[in-house]
Amino acid sequence: MVTIDWRIRRLGQAAFTVWAVITLSFALVRLMPGNMMGAMVTRLARQGINPARARELVELRMTIDPDAPLLPAYVSYVSNTLQGDLGQSVYYSRPVVDIIAEAVPWTLFVLSWAVFISFFIGISIGALMAYWEGGKLDVGLTSYAVLMGSIPFYVLAILLLIFLAYRLSWFPTGGRQPIATDPGFNLVYISGIVRHAALPVISMLVASGVASLGMRGNSIRVLGEDYLRVARLRGLSDITISTQYVARNAVLPMYTTLLISIGEMFGGSIVLEQVFQYRGVGWYMLSATHQRDYPLMMGGFMVITVAMVISLLLADLTYGYVDPRARRSQ
């Protein structure tokens, strides 16, 4: 039985992780070798700002006072962060929260399509492979799955960029929206957005390879169950058995994988958005890393972490509803 107690504990764990990440980012900024604060002050000073003013600016942007004793500095950093004040980007001279809030929908747009399409394909292929296990189709599709699982998504992304965008010009070569069209609910703009998102989404199809192997394994396990023999004896048709019995029971464990992979793709979006110059959260985090724009970099890191924590939390908390068997065993 899922007890209230268990859910509260799981929530507490998620909160603990978020706290741990905030603390980690504080420690990195404040204590790490090379002292990022010092580096930022020197950089601003080199641009002709006097050192006292530079220090003030850095303090303001990082929401960390470099001279304050450790504990008060930590407390104010945590409370600022929890209130949504992630400091100000050094490079863009805008609040980090604004930049990220503007970028998140784009990343989510690409990722949600990528996750759902790759899982739909993965699950269908996995079920087919399991049903004809050992046959020619299984061997063929397994090769597909192994190959897809062995290609890093960024390799596929670059190949798609080269062939479909540069060679064939079927898709735009970068960016996230068409230039010279009015943003809004008009056909040109929306189809432009879809075309810009198409290649990043297709690159994530490599995830379908991994998903299909998982689905194949699950289905094979289900195929060995006694209730299938009973179903067979009852004279149910192949189609009923494969959809109602096998697929349904095998797809349930994939639910967790689905939500976990959303979290993981958030991390992977850094590479993907770099390849396609798609300005989402990952793109900004990478650009911040290259610019040594620490407030923006840490902000991106925290947003990605929180996204992952939330998706894992959702997976754990809702799994009992999706699969009643899990509720009994918990």
Least Å distance between CB 308 and other proteins?
5
Residue 8 corresponds to which tokens in the numbers above? Answer: 């509260």
Region 10-49 residues binding other proteins, contact defined as CB under 8 A: 13-14, 16-17, 20-21, 25, 28, 32-34
Vertex 24 angle, CA 23 and 26, to 5°: 65
Residue with tokens 């960024």: 154
* CB of 98 vs other proteins, minimal distance in Å: 20
Instruction: Give min distance, CB of 68 to other proteins, in A.
Output: 21
CB of 179 to other proteins, least distance (A): 18
- Residue 5 interacts with other proteins (CB under 8 A): yes or no: no
Binding other proteins by CB under 8 A: which of 58, 161, 205, 296? 161
115-144: which residues touch other proteins (CB under 8 A)?
131-134
Helical H segments across the chain, by residue range: 4-31, 36-46, 51-62, 70-82, 96-131, 136-150, 153-160, 187-203, 206-223, 226-233, 238-240, 248-251, 254-275, 281-291, 294-322, 324-329
Question: What part of residues 186-215 is at the interface with other proteins (CB under 8 A)?
Answer: 210, 213-214
Q: Is residue 89 a contact point for other proteins (CB under 8 A)?
A: no
By CB under 8 A, tell whether 252 contacts other proteins. Answer: no
- Near other proteins in 254-293, by CB under 8 A: 256-257, 260-261, 263-264, 266-268, 270-271, 274-275, 285-286, 289-290
CA atoms within 13 Å, Cβ hemisphere of 211: 28
- Helices 187-203, 254-275: crossing angle, 10 deg rounding: 110
